[in-house]
Amino acid sequence: MSERTERVGPPSRGGRKRDHSRDAVILEATLDVLAESGFDGMTIDMVAVRAGAARATVYRRWPTKIDLVLDAVKRLAPGPAELERLPDTGSLRGDLVASMQPDTSEESERRVRVVAGLQSIAERNEDIAAVLTGGGTEPWIEANRILIRRAVDRGEYGPVDVDALAQVLPLMCTCRVAVQRLPITPEYAIGLIDAVLLPAMRSTSKEKFG
Amino acid sequence: MSERTERVGPPSRGGRKRDHSRDAVILEATLDVLAESGFDGMTIDMVAVRAGAARATVYRRWPTKIDLVLDAVKRLAPGPAELERLPDTGSLRGDLVASMQPDTSEESERRVRVVAGLQSIAERNEDIAAVLTGGGTEPWIEANRILIRRAVDRGEYGPVDVDALAQVLPLMCTCRVAVQRLPITPEYAIGLIDAVLLPAMRSTSKEKFG
DNA sequence: CAATTACGATATCCACGAGTATCGGATCAG
DNA sequence: CTGATCCGATACTCGTGGATATCGTAATTG
């Protein structure tokens, strides 16, 4: 977490406790607004209203807009435990379809929209850029890397370019939402798997053509 | 073109002519600033300074910031003639490599950055969204569609899912620049062609796996 | 030359949003 | 109860940027 406005100096004698359960509400509201309006279009007031709080309450916990957004985006990054719980159905296709299931939900569409809405500020803010790579496409690509490597190891496919193939689904889906402004339906996701990724896996790319 | 501030009423008797050769300079400056700072980060003053003009000169030709950006983005859309001049080397790989050549240039990286920088405003402005689909990834996808269809027609490959495969290179390259913030090197482009697209072409996706 | 318009530069108006300050009411510790 | 702190609400400051207006100068027509 980025530095809050915690009281450090005087060991206070009492007073109303800060209701920390509202942190999550405010951060969720921040992500909602970010997904809808982007960083520049988002105002602290929008966040406060959506969270049912006062602007002062937000500023009491995060000193600047940037700090608020940083903490909010950190919620997007999957924990290491997330990568441990990858599906294991026995076939690559089964694993991919299972792992894409949450990606066709609204929850994950918001994630992509947040990433898209932070591009402009990421250009000028090192911290935002850093937290974006961690919470954006990279974990998703890493998950695909694991699934593909596992399929190759168990002999389901021959040797392939794991790094290149692991990027196909995450990058294409991200671009579809962020740039083409189209939803990731289960049909589209499965279509990509069956028409692009799995066919590419089947033909090992040893021979080149001139 | 969107409506300018052209004089229409009084048949004027004379006066200094508007130097229309500077339109292009201003619009190019607009694209440069858009690519660097996005729509919200761009100010009319940045554009004017980069174009070596005064703000008043810009406002004399385009009434609002939106109008200026609309005209600028229209310059990104390739004319119909562009799609007629697609490479024809005899092999799909040759065509793809040749057609990707300009995409690895700075010129084309700017195009993608402009598209990325306009996402936030496109969410709220119908006109921007419309002109973006025309000048963004769609023409690029269409070009790939033509190349792939041609290769199938000449018997170089069996039947494939043309629409899905035509999106692979444009979407992945766009996302790499706009989201991952990495350059499109010739190595990366050719790597995609050899490790993803052509392998996927080779194995026709008739059989499915459960 | 005179009238007219474009141009560069600059001043100005205006709206908006980040961040601060204040206030009344609520909630805790002692 | 008392003092300290949180909360919601509101007013406020202040910088920025879109848009307009003005002015002196340059170019063009008659």
Question: A74, A92, A110: which is the final residue of a domain?
Answer: A74
How many A/B residue pairs have CB atoms within 8 Å?
165
Q: Which residue is nearest to nucleotide D26 (CA to C1')?
A: B16
Q: Are the C-beta atoms of residues A203 and B202 closer than 8 Å to each other?
A: yes
User: For position B149, what pLDDT does the model report?
Assistant: 97
Q: Are the C-beta atoms of residues A73 and A35 closer than 8 Å to each other?
A: no
Name which of A37, A125, A128, A41 is nearest A76 in CA terms. A128
> Has residue B2 been placed in a domain?
no
Q: Are the C-beta atoms of residues B122 and B135 closer than 8 Å to each other?
A: no
Tell me whether residues B210 and A94 touch, CB distance under 8 A. Answer: yes
User: For position B210, what pLDDT does the model report?
Assistant: 33
**What average pLDDT score do residues A157-184 get?**
95
> Has residue A112 been placed in a domain?
yes
pLDDT-based confidence at A6, cuts 50/70/90? very low
Q: Tell if B12 CB is < 7 Å from nucleic strand C.
A: yes
Closest nucleotide to A6 by C1' from CA: D5
Tell me: do A70 and A84 sit in the same domain.
Answer: no
Report d(CA A196, CA A135) in Å as an integer.
25
Tell me whether residues A175 and B180 touch, CB distance under 8 A. Answer: no
Tell me: do B120 and B134 sit in the same domain.
Answer: yes
pLDDT along chain B (210 residues), means of 10: 43 84 98 95 98 97 98 88 89 96 80 91 92 90 96 96 97 94 93 96 58
Contacts of A43 (CB under 8 A, 6+ apart): none
Tell me: do B87 and B42 sit in the same domain.
Answer: no
What amino acid occupies position B180? Q
Tokens matching residue B179: 């989201």
- Scanning B42-137, the segments in alpha helix (DSSP H) are 44-51, 55-61, 65-74, 80-84, 92-100, 106-117, 119-122, 126-135
Tokens matching residue A61: 């916990």
CA-based nearest residue in chain A for residue B166: A196
Tell me: do B128 and B190 sit in the same domain.
Answer: yes
Point out the residue among B94, B119, B192 whose CB comes nearest to the CB of A178: B119
Tokens matching residue A206: 């040893």
Closest nucleotide to B7 by C1' from CA: C5
Tell me: do A98 and A168 sit in the same domain.
Answer: yes
> Has residue A2 been placed in a domain?
no
Q: Are the C-beta atoms of residues A145 and A162 closer than 8 Å to each other?
A: yes
Tell me whether residues A202 and B203 touch, CB distance under 8 A. Answer: yes
**Which of A115, A138, A161, A175 to mutate to test binding with chain B, by most B CBs within 10 Å of its CB?**
A175
> Has residue A7 been placed in a domain?
no
**pLDDT of A98-116, one tens digit each?**
999 877 778 888 999 999 9
pLDDT-based confidence at A46, cuts 50/70/90? very high
> Has residue A159 been placed in a domain?
yes
pLDDT-based confidence at A207, cuts 50/70/90? very low
> Has residue A208 been placed in a domain?
no
The DSSP annotation for A90-146 comes to SSHHHHHHHHHGGGGSHHHHHHHHHHHHTHHHHTT-HHHHHHHHHHTTHHHHHHHHH
Name which of B94, B50, B66, B56 is nearest B2 in CA terms. B66
DSSP for residue B194: I
> Has residue A10 been placed in a domain?
no
Please, what's the largest Cα pairwise distance for chain B? 79
- Chain A environment of B148 (Cβ under 8 Å): none
Question: B39, B56, B74: which is the final residue of a domain?
Answer: B74
- Chain B environment of A117 (Cβ under 8 Å): 119-120
Query: Which has the higher per-residue pLDDT, B120 or A34?
Result: A34
CA-based nearest residue in chain A for residue B209: A93
User: For position B209, what pLDDT does the model report?
Assistant: 39
Name which of B192, B167, B188, B42 is nearest B114 in CA terms. B42
> Has residue B176 been placed in a domain?
yes
User: For position A11, what pLDDT does the model report?
Assistant: 57
Tell me: do B92 and B118 sit in the same domain.
Answer: yes
Tell me: do A143 and A41 sit in the same domain.
Answer: no
Smallest CA–CA distance, residue A207 to chain B, in Å, is 9
Round the average pLDDT of chain A to a whole number and report it: 89
Tell me: do A91 and A162 sit in the same domain.
Answer: yes
Q: What is the CATH number of the domain that holds A58?
A: 1.10.10.60
**What average pLDDT score do residues A29-58 get?**
97
Point out the residue among B117, B180, B196 whose CB comes nearest to the CB of A200: B196
First to last CA, chain A: 53
Tell me: do A86 and A165 sit in the same domain.
Answer: yes
The number of folded domains in chain B is: 2
Tell me: do A26 and A115 sit in the same domain.
Answer: no
Tell me whether residues B123 and A174 touch, CB distance under 8 A. Answer: no
**pLDDT of B22-33, one tens digit each?**
999 999 999 999
Letter string b/e over residues A103-134, b meaning 16 or more CB atoms within 10 A of that residue's CB: bbeeebbbbbbbbbbbbbbbbebeebeebbbe
Q: What is the CATH number of the domain that holds B86?
A: 1.10.357.10
Structural domain harbouring A111: 80-202
